[in-house]
Amino acid sequence: MRRGVVWRAGGPALELIAYDGKSREEQRELLRALIHDHAAQTRRNAAESCTTRRTYPTDQGFYFPAYRTLSLPPTNGEHGEEPRAGMSDRGFLDSLRKGVLSPWIDAPARRVVVFGGKSPAYLDRQLAADDAHVFLVVDRSLRWLANAAARLLPRFPERVFFLRAEALFAGLRLLPRECGDVVVVPMPTPFWGEKNSHQRLLTSDFLCAAHRILREREAPADPRGVIAFTDCEPYADFMMEQLEEAKLLVPWARKDPAQTYARWLPHHENHPAREFPQQRFKEIIAIAASKSGKPSSQVMELIEGYDFRRKYYRSFSGESEE
C-alpha cells in the first residue's frame, strides 16, 4: 500500500496516513484491500489454532476522506499495549481530533455516537429524521463501516463519519471528554457463552466510558445520555445490572426509553421493514439513562486509567457459544 500524507507519528512506530491526494476510485481500492487483508488474516487465524496474528496493521492508521472513514489499529488485550500507547500520545490525539474528527467534534448540531454499524437502514432512517444531529459510527469491523458509508454518504455527505476502533478505547482515549450528546448502542451481539463474554459491548466499563464522552443534560427531559436495545432478554437483564453497577461510579439517571429517547428506538416489531438482519426475536427491550452529573476527579482518573484487560462474565444459560 502506497503512503499518502503522514499526519503525525503517535509514537516510535505509529503513523496516521490520510489519502487526501487520492481519487475516490483509488481510495475505494485501498479500502477494499485493507478489508480483504483483514478477512484473509482472519481465515488464517481460524486455521492455525496455535497462533493468532493481528488482522489489521498495528503500526498505521488510515483515513479515507472520500468515505469519511478512519481505520485505527486494534487495541484490545495485552497485544494492543503498543498501539494503545502510541494512540494515547498527545501529538497523535491532537492530529486525530483537530484533523480527521474535527468536522464532527466541532459541529453545531447535536453529536451522536453510534457504537455498531451493522444496520445502514437504521442509520439511514435516523439521519433522515432531521438535520439537527451529526453521527459518528464506531465499529471494530471495517467491512460493516464501508457498507454503511457506501449507502449513507451519497445522501448525507456532511453528517456522518465512520471510525474503525474498539469501543472502549474510543470512549476512554480517542474521543475528548464531553464531546457528544447521545450514545446509541443498537442491537449489540449478546455473546451468550462465558468463553466469548469478554466481547460483550454494554458493560459497566463501557457505560463509564460513554458517560465520559457525553455532555451533561440541561434539564430532566433533555435527551443527553445513552440508549441501548436488544432482542435478547438475558442480555437486557445483564445490561440493566451493568447500568446499576456503573451508577456506583458515575451519575446516571434511569429513563423510560419510550419517552425521552423514543426516536432512537428501532421500528415497531410489526413494521414490515426489519432494520436489523441479526434480529432473532420479535420483542425489543431497551434501556436508557441520562447523564445527570459529573464524577469526581478521582473517579475520572480511575475510569481513564482502565487497563483494557479481558473481563469475562456469566453465561446466558440455555444457549450455546457463538
Separation of CA 160 from chain center: 13
Domains and CATH numbers, the chain: 1-92 (no CATH), 101-312 (3.40.50.150)
**Three-state DSSP class for 250?**
coil
Can you list the alpha helix ranges (DSSP code H) found in 50-113? Answer: 81-87, 90-95, 102-105
Q: Coil, helix or strand for 175?
A: coil
**Per residue of the chain (322 residues), what is the pLDDT tens digit?**
344 455 444 455 678 899 999 999 999 999 999 999 989 888 888 887 666 677 888 888 999 999 999 999 999 877 788 889 889 888 889 889 988 999 999 999 999 999 999 999 999 999 999 999 999 999 999 999 999 999 999 999 999 999 999 999 999 999 999 999 999 999 999 999 999 999 999 999 999 999 999 999 999 999 999 999 999 999 999 999 999 999 999 999 999 999 999 999 998 655 656 788 888 888 899 999 999 999 999 999 999 999 999 999 999 975 444 4
- Contact between 203 and 313 under an 8 Å Cβ cutoff? The reply is yes
pTM comes to 0.93
- Long-range CB pairs of 52-58 (<8 Å, 24+ gap) are 54/79, 56/142, 56/164, 58/82, 58/83
Strand runs (DSSP E) across 14-132, as ranges? 14-18, 60-64, 69-71, 110-115
